[in-house]
Amino acid sequence: MAGDPSGPVGKPSPAVEAQARHFGDAHRRLASAREQDRERKERRRFRWVEAGSKRHTAVPPLTGST
């Protein structure tokens, strides 16, 4: 069984094309969602670091405080 091409040889069937298009769209959506999630995490971490640095400015430096 050498694979039964439905339609002209070398051209995928409309069903296969539709499926590939659907998976391409889904992949793009998933990739963009993952990208947005990463950006949101980065922003949150940056905000947390900023807040931490502001909070620690009130604490006197530990060097030479003994």
Residue pLDDT, tens place only, 8-66: 566 768 888 888 888 888 888 888 888 999 888 888 777 766 666 655 555 666 666 55
What are the tokens at 18?
């539709």
Examine residue 23 and state whether it is found in any structural domain, yes or no: yes
Examine residue 19 and state whether it is found in any structural domain, yes or no: yes
For residue 43, CA distances in Å to 10, 12, 62 come to 47, 44, 29
Strand runs labelled E in the chain? none
Domain extent, residue 17, equals 13-54
Count up the domains in the chain and report the number.
1
Examine residue 41 and state whether it is found in any structural domain, yes or no: yes
Could you tell me the pTM of the whole model? 0.37
Examine residue 64 and state whether it is found in any structural domain, yes or no: no
For residue 22, CA distances in Å to 14, 39, 64 come to 12, 26, 65
Examine residue 46 and state whether it is found in any structural domain, yes or no: yes
Examine residue 65 and state whether it is found in any structural domain, yes or no: no
24 CB-near residues (< 8 Å, 6+ apart): none
